[in-house]
Amino acid sequence: MTPPRLLLLCAHTARSVAYLQALAAAGLVPDHIIAYGQAAPPPHVTRHAQHHENCGLVLPQLDESLIGCLERLGWAYERCSSDILDSTELLGCIERGKADLIVYSGQGGQLVPPALLQRCPVLHVHSGWLPDYRGSTTLYYQILEQRQCAASALLLNETIDTGPVVARKHYPLPAAGMDVDYLYDNAIRADLLVEVLLRWRANPASLAPLADPSFAEEQPPYYIIHPLLKHLALLTIDQQEPACE
């Protein structure tokens, strides 16, 4: 039997770098990688925790650019200048990848169009426990409401965070002082992505929707969090008792 082919579709973001580093650490090499859109400098991380282990979760090193990370790993990749997901140029790159599964690591707020979704399943990792925390910046809402974090892996459809969920996992709060947007958010997404892909490589049928009746319930999406609420969420993180050293 021919092994299933994995395509990684990467915008020039911290999340893409986190995914590459996590996949490399797990020995998972995509069959085809597309770096699309325009290059961007690494993000400026302003909050640095004293204890970076964060209970065993591996944090990404974000001083690398997407291309710099790919070059260091020695992984072959294809560049596409277009950042339009249904452009002729980008769809042509995807066709050449002949993928059985696409891992999507795009720009925030960018919806995957039907022209791409119709080609093969598209896997996305969302920060937030689905279906309860759909939408944007859900990690902060879950910190405020539940004092914990989560990530969910889903197969995308044409609406926001409503596709079949294939895996979910809870995570502790970030360590006090830790950057949430670039370090922790991307670390938990990358952690769950590796778990899902290891299972998929061993058994492609493992990407089955979770049997949970709550997925049938209509849940309103969250929107970009207000700066004051974000500040309160960061205070919640910084004032917590250390969970582990």
* Residue-wise pLDDT tens digits, 95-150: 999 999 999 999 887 889 999 999 999 999 999 999 999 999 999 999 999 999 99
Q: How far apart are CA 190 and CA 15, in angstroms?
A: 8
Question: Which of the four pLDDT bands, split at 50, 70 and 90, describes residue 218?
Answer: low
- 3-class SS of residue 115: helix
Question: Which of the four pLDDT bands, split at 50, 70 and 90, describes residue 68?
Answer: very high
Residue 216 confidence (pLDDT): 54
Within 13 A of 32's CA, how many CA atoms are on the CB side? 22
CB 62 within 8 A of CB 14: yes
Residue 26 confidence (pLDDT): 95
Question: Which of the four pLDDT bands, split at 50, 70 and 90, describes residue 215?
Answer: low
pLDDT above 50 for 51: no
Question: Which of the four pLDDT bands, split at 50, 70 and 90, describes residue 245?
Answer: very low
222 Cα distance to chain centroid: 17
Query: Residue range 207-216: average pLDDT?
Result: 73
Residue 211 confidence (pLDDT): 74
pLDDT above 70 for 54: no
More confident residue, 223 or 193: 193
Residue 48 confidence (pLDDT): 61
Q: Which token pair is 168?
A: 């979910």
List 7's β-bridge partners, or say none: 32, 102
CB 21 within 8 A of CB 182: no
User: Could you identify the residue written with the tokens 């022209």?
Assistant: 115
Residues 6 or more apart whose CB falls under 8 angstroms from that of 227 comprise: none
Residue 39 confidence (pLDDT): 86
Domains and CATH numbers, the chain: 6-238 (3.40.50.12230)
Residue 160 confidence (pLDDT): 87
31 Cα distance to chain centroid: 19
Residue 86 confidence (pLDDT): 93
